Amino acid sequence: MEIEGLHLLTLIVFLPLAGALVLGMLPHSESALLRGFGLAISGSAFLLALLLWSGFDPQNPAMQFTEEARWIPACGISFRLGIDGVSMPFVLLATFLVPMALLSSIDTLSRGVKGFVFCTLLLESAMLGILTAQDIFLFYIFWELALIPLFFFVTAWGRSNRSYSAVKLFVYLSSTSVMMLLAFIFLQAGNGDGGNSSATLRNLALDPQMQKWIFGGMLIAFAAHAAVFPLHTWLTDAQTEMEPAASALLSGLFIKLGAYGLLRFALPAFPTLFADFAPFLALAAVAGLIYCSLAALGQKSLRRMAAFILAGQMGLAVLGISVMNVEALSGAIFLMISSGVSGAALFMIIALIEKANGHDNVDRLGNSIRALPFLGMLLVPAALGLGGFPGLSGFAGNIYLLYGAFAPNTLPGSSALAFAACFGLLLLLAALMLMMQKMMAGNDRLPPAETARVGLREHLVIVPMIVLIILMGVMPSYFIKGISGASVKIVEQYRSAAVSAPDGMQGTDSLAVNCDNDATEE
Amino acid sequence: MDFFREYSKVGRGPRRESRYAPILASSGAFALAMIWLALRVKFEKDAPYSHWPALIPLAPLAASTLIFFFGRFMPRAASIIIAVSAMTFSLILNLALWFIASRLDGGTVLQEVYTWAAVGEMKIDFAFSLDALSAVFAACGIAAGLLCGVFAAGVSPDKRTHNRALVFICLFEAALLTALEASNLPVFFAGFSALTLCSYLMVGLLRRDDESRLASRWQISLSLTGDMLFMSGMLVLLAQFGSIEMSEMSLWVSMMDSTWLLPALMLVLVGLAVKSGLWPFSSAVALTARLDALPNTLLLSAGPAFLSIYVMLRFGTLFLHVPAAMTLAAILGTVSALVCILLALSQRDMGRSLAYAAMSQYGFAFAAAGFGAFVAAGLHALALSLCILSLMLGFGLLVHISGGERNIYRLSQIGLRFAPVRYAMLLSFMALAGFPFAAYFSRGQIIAAALSVEIGPASWLAVPMGITLALISCLTAFLAFRLYFTVFASPALQARRPMPFAAGLPLLAATVLCASAAVLQMPDDKGSLAAVLLFPALEDPPQLMRLGGFNTFGLLLSVAATLLGFLAARKTYSSRTPLSEPLRESEGIAKIFEKELYLDRALYRIFSKPLVDFGRILGNFADSWIVESAMVRSVAWLARSVGLGLSFLQSGNVQTYLLLAVAGFFVLCLWLWQAGIITG
């Protein structure tokens, strides 16, 4: 049977949403049923994603499995979905992480199970929608939808300072989303006959000054979502307060969506402006990497430490996007995927350490490795995978990204930035090592962590992620093939547009030719 | 025969010794089988041996995995058999492939296991290549691991510790062999970094206490810093030259942009120095030296410093084109060699003394590479590796027998006069001192190279550095014989524990290897024997083979320095009674040196603490107040102020509203006029 005709993308995107609606009708008291149902739905979405992957052609850089239906013709809004080498791994990651997060929440979550599973499924649907939407307004709708469950994750299941963190999260993300909405409205107006399709965003007939405003709005919105310095403070607070399973989703996937949006919409729409802004973006990214790594070194809360580390790593990924050559871009995307898996695993491990000790203060942790030896085995690959240790998932991303950054004839001053990024990476590794040591060895004067038992099941939830971290480290080619193909296309389009664009115009001719070629190939 | 008679007296008795018989028998049978297999290979281009190099690091890795997961269910002997067999297999395969490679065009056996990743212009194969240079270093490294594995069987107190030691040793070997037999830089870096992790695990987890925790923290911090510096340099080289193959390094020079080569090599060099533990980055070495002999043996004989010399040889072609980098290598090496030998002399802990002596000699080898004497550097590192292997195993045995005593003066009171240990260590001490037969000709060549300076550092450095190196030779000889006379040349008292057979055997083997290193250094008409046999990989360009030959002046100076050191030590220590050296605390400068110049504290105060404190300020103050206030609180304050201002305007007074309406009208008109919508 042809996979193309199955409307797999629609199924994957809306299955969790439909599941959430059905879940609403189930009784509150049946926690096991609610969890089982949530797992079944998210597991099915993962299986569908695997089916999608089996039919995905990594050599083809164009959009695949495209689905289109007219939705609001008056505004030119369509229901348009599609997937390429950049979004495919993110879709797999999203569908993989949600069941893992639900599984890990079994032992850490005691109240509001129904609401939690509901919000998780809603978030999954929204994130998958963001990753597959090819219409800017459809993208925006999913974007806003994702904020709702996040807000409740903090307010309903958060710790003592949850109100402050929730408001902060909402202020940061909603206010910047409004900027994005305004930008999209102007973009649609300037896109002429192209409507809202992301594929035709390059044919813009807009005033140069207006273009700068639109681009600025999009840039701030995406940077805030990606927690790029100095717009990262919402992330550290939210991560500290959130339910750990939700933290895994936030760090594992949600913050990566900001960088994804930048790549999918801001870059193709404004290649010349992107080229102008790229040095500043790269500078902010590297500054963020160093700043967040240093800040991580000084934290007393494990969760905050991990949040800073992840924010720092997003800085590294944004550097790769700013450099904009095939190696750096592929490295950045791969790094985000890797960081998604390792970051989620790390947060789950932190949750277990926290459960065993009753708190997450690094100065008061006992010798956890004595009480939880298996956890040490899981922690080492998770943390080192995040730091880019050879043989583990982050290495390929780091090496390609930095190779691209050091390559001649890229961004002005990129070599200096790459040197600085290496220094930042060293600090990031130092923070990870410090965290590992505190988690494993703890304070010698305190007794080993034995206040609570951590069961085998809680450990086993993390095992698939560790396996994936090792697989991505040993055989990255299996994962990077599709990313590389899509990156080549993005970089080619960007270069031709940025080079050929006359002042004030966004390279319409060359990009139109590229789009025509793509259409012919398809 | 006295030797063996005495040896059998201190063993655990025939019944206990028979435990090792199956291990030795199976290892021997395995080795013979592998030799038989190797001899059957035909030297053809597509012969099956092109699929073998990966097995060399894979075998210890598999053994490590097996023992890690199933070790607790197996008898103790089974774990030893697995580990020893795997390393024996690696050693024999390595030797067989070396033999095969020497008969192939190009002298290299290459295996591309799979394409690791391919993006844009950069395709990275997970590939191994084995030539004479990598094979000889690998053989030395495997020998160290193998002997340490057997030694662990003898000294480990329980099955758990024993299994853990074997897992770490095998893992360490796998990392080392991956680095040594890597075909390209990324794979090399994978092995190089894995060695960091293995060192950390071995130091931190073999014996879980405060000391090991502290040592492992320093080990990982400095190693990671070295890794990152090396990686930065490596990435600059990769990005500039576009090639990642180690074998193409000589071609890189033709594509070279000197602007980039200098910083790249400087980064590589400093990275290697930091990772090796050259002074002033020797804190990790000092702290690790306080621990058991086992991790120290492996780390010093086949660890990061050993691997760094290999990298220097591999990068030799590039270093030859950057005199500034060679000058830095020479200075770093010489200074490190001098300070480390002074630190070694000030120690009372035998382990630390030996560790510093080893680092001093690695500094010597670094300096040799800096003077362009690459072959001498390689030979020196190889001989030193075997010498320090023997010394550290002997030291470990002494500590075991004496019930944990490490102080050289207290060891002398115990008066351990076991002949096997004594003669084995005497030979190794002689090698360390520079007597025939080990580390002898290379040391002379290095001193001569320093004095002649044809390549590398500026000529004004030649004489001071040459004299310094000669002084270091003298001090090393003094240290070696001081240790020997203090520990062994005193009346025998009672040993506290019997000598385990399995721990004594590797000492004997290591001593034989140490002595045989001299044979490899014997000079011939084309240089030394080893230079012809072991380093054909360095023949291009020919400058790398410079100073491979017999150098009379350097040799004489080295001999004179060694003799002077020996005579001084003999006069000072040989006639002393065990208690003649006071056991009081050191004072003044001696204390500063004994405490390793307080370097770990200085590094902590200068780098680590300010970094963490700065991070604390950033995280708790800057992040919460500056960023937060600028981004969130200021906006919130502005919005609230505007809201409050507007609420004041809602007075309910019609006149106020009218006034505002008129003001608004005028503002609107002004704006429309400025926009050109209304004119005149």
Domain boundaries, chain A: 1-224, 270-501
* Contact residues on chain A for B117, CB-CB shorter than 8 A: 396, 400, 476-477, 480
B100, exposed or middle or buried, with CB in 10 Å at 0-12, 13-18, 19+? buried
Confidence of residue B349 (pLDDT cuts 50, 70, 90): confident
Residues 216-255 of B with CB under 8 A from A: 217, 220-221, 224-225, 228-229, 231-232, 235-236, 238-240
Confidence of residue A513 (pLDDT cuts 50, 70, 90): very low
Give yes or no for residue A510 having a pLDDT over 50: no
pLDDT at position A506 is 44
Distance between CA A302 and CA A363 in Å, rounded? 10
* Contact residues on chain B for A171, CB-CB shorter than 8 A: 632, 636
Confidence of residue B548 (pLDDT cuts 50, 70, 90): very low
Are B189 and A390 inside 8 Å of each other by CB? yes
Confidence of residue A164 (pLDDT cuts 50, 70, 90): confident
Residues 268-287 of A with CB under 8 A from B: none
Count Cβ atoms below 10 Å from residue B247 Cβ, excluding itself. 16
Confidence of residue A430 (pLDDT cuts 50, 70, 90): confident
Q: Give B228→chain A minimum CA distance, Å.
A: 6
Are A400 and B119 inside 8 Å of each other by CB? yes
Confidence of residue B10 (pLDDT cuts 50, 70, 90): very low
* Contact residues on chain A for B624, CB-CB shorter than 8 A: 233
Are A396 and B611 inside 8 Å of each other by CB? no
**For B313-322, what is the mean pLDDT?**
83
Matching residue, tokens 């060293």: A426
**In terms of CA atoms, which chain A residue is nearest residue B191?**
A390
Q: Is A470 on the interface with B (CB under 8 A)?
A: no
pLDDT at position B592 is 66
Are A298 and B618 inside 8 Å of each other by CB? yes
Of B609, B218, B224, B216, the residue nearest A297 (C-alpha)? B609
Q: Is B44 on the interface with A (CB under 8 A)?
A: no
Give yes or no for residue B504 having a pLDDT over 80: no
**For B236-265, what is the mean pLDDT?**
75
pLDDT at position B15 is 41
**In terms of CA atoms, which chain B residue is nearest residue A234?**
B628
Give yes or no for residue B585 having a pLDDT over 90: no
Give yes or no for residue A512 having a pLDDT over 90: no
Please tell me which of the candidates B191, B197, B615 has its beta carbon nearest to residue A295: B615
pLDDT at position A520 is 40
pLDDT at position B174 is 93
* Contact residues on chain B for A476, CB-CB shorter than 8 A: 116-117
Please tell me which of the candidates A171, A429, A484 has its beta carbon nearest to residue B224: A429
- Give yes or no for a contact between A338 and A275, defined as CB atoms under 8 angstroms apart: no
Residues 164-183 of A with CB under 8 A from B: 168, 171-172
- Give yes or no for a contact between A385 and A338, defined as CB atoms under 8 angstroms apart: yes
Question: CA B368 from chain center: how many Å?
Answer: 17
Q: Is B619 on the interface with A (CB under 8 A)?
A: yes
- The angle subtended at Cα A40 by Cα A37 and Cα A43, nearest 5°, is 145
**In terms of CA atoms, which chain B residue is nearest residue A434?**
B217
Side-chain-side CA neighbours of A101 within 13 Å: the count stands at: 36
Confidence of residue B1 (pLDDT cuts 50, 70, 90): very low
Residues 147-206 of B with CB under 8 A from A: 186, 189-191, 193-194, 197
Give yes or no for residue B580 having a pLDDT over 60: no
Give yes or no for residue A481 having a pLDDT over 60: yes
* Contact residues on chain A for B118, CB-CB shorter than 8 A: 477, 480-481, 484
Instruction: Find all residues with CB under 8 Å of A150, minimum gap 6, and list them.
Output: A123, A169, A173, A238, A246, A250, A254
Please tell me which of the candidates B124, B240, B619 has its beta carbon nearest to residue A298: B619
Are A403 and B239 inside 8 Å of each other by CB? yes
Give yes or no for residue A332 having a pLDDT over 80: yes
Instruction: Find all residues with CB under 8 Å of B216, minimum gap 6, and list them.
Output: B200, B203, B204, B205
Distance between CA A310 and CA A339 in Å, rounded? 8
Residues 308-347 of A with CB under 8 A from B: 308, 325-327, 330-331
Q: Is A480 on the interface with B (CB under 8 A)?
A: yes
Of A333, A381, A105, the residue nearest A226 (C-alpha)? A333
Give yes or no for residue A187 having a pLDDT over 50: yes
Residues B393-406 have pLDDT tens digits of 988 888 887 777 88
**In terms of CA atoms, which chain B residue is nearest residue A293?**
B615
* Contact residues on chain B for A419, CB-CB shorter than 8 A: 232
% of chain B residues with pLDDT over 70: 76
Instruction: Pick the residue of B201, B604, B623 with the most A CBs within 10 A to test the interface with A by mutation.
Output: B623
Give yes or no for residue B42 having a pLDDT over 80: no
Residues B231-249 have pLDDT tens digits of 888 888 887 777 777 777 7
User: What's the farthest any 2 CA atoms get from each other in chain A?
Assistant: 70
Are A430 and B224 inside 8 Å of each other by CB? yes
Q: How many helices (H) and strands (E) does chain B have?
A: 31, 4
Query: Which stretch of A89-93, A483-487, B355-359 has the lowest confidence by average pLDDT?
Result: A483-487
Using DSSP's 3-state secondary structure scheme, residue B408 falls into helix
Cβ-Cβ contacts under 8 Å between A and B: the total is 145
Of A522, A518, A517, A514, the residue nearest A202 (C-alpha)? A514
Query: Which stretch of A300-314, A394-408, A455-469, B432-446 has the lowest confidence by average pLDDT?
Result: B432-446
Confidence of residue B618 (pLDDT cuts 50, 70, 90): confident
Q: Is B620 on the interface with A (CB under 8 A)?
A: yes
Q: Is B524 on the interface with A (CB under 8 A)?
A: no
Residues A374-426 have pLDDT tens digits of 777 888 889 888 888 888 888 989 888 988 888 876 777 778 888 889 888 88
Q: Is A396 on the interface with B (CB under 8 A)?
A: yes
Residues 196-225 of A with CB under 8 A from B: none
Task: Please give the ipTM for the structure prediction.
Answer: 0.81
**For B58-76, what is the mean pLDDT?**
87
Ramachandran sector of residue B555 (left: φ over 0; alpha: ψ -120 to 50; beta: rest)? alpha
Per-position DSSP letters for B455-473, written without gaps between them:
SSS-GGGHHHHHHHHHHHH
Mean pLDDT value across chain B:
78
Please tell me which of the candidates A293, A297, A326 has its beta carbon nearest to residue B119: A326
Q: Give B349→chain A minimum CA distance, Å.
A: 26
Q: Give B447→chain A minimum CA distance, Å.
A: 37
* Contact residues on chain A for B113, CB-CB shorter than 8 A: none
Distance between CA A266 and CA A256 in Å, rounded? 15
Of A262, A265, A150, the residue nearest A202 (C-alpha)? A265
* Contact residues on chain A for B617, CB-CB shorter than 8 A: 298
**For A321-348, what is the mean pLDDT?**
91
**In terms of CA atoms, which chain A residue is nearest residue B190?**
A390
Using DSSP's 3-state secondary structure scheme, residue A229 falls into coil
Of B251, B293, B290, the residue nearest B389 (C-alpha)? B293
pLDDT at position B9 is 42
Q: Is A476 on the interface with B (CB under 8 A)?
A: yes
Are B120 and A419 inside 8 Å of each other by CB? no
Are B623 and A437 inside 8 Å of each other by CB? no
CA-to-CA dists, residue B58 to A61, B52, B308, angstroms: 37, 10, 22
Query: Which stretch of A259-273, B278-292, B407-421 has the lowest confidence by average pLDDT?
Result: B407-421
**For B469-477, what is the mean pLDDT?**
92
What six digits make up the tokens of A413? 């001053």
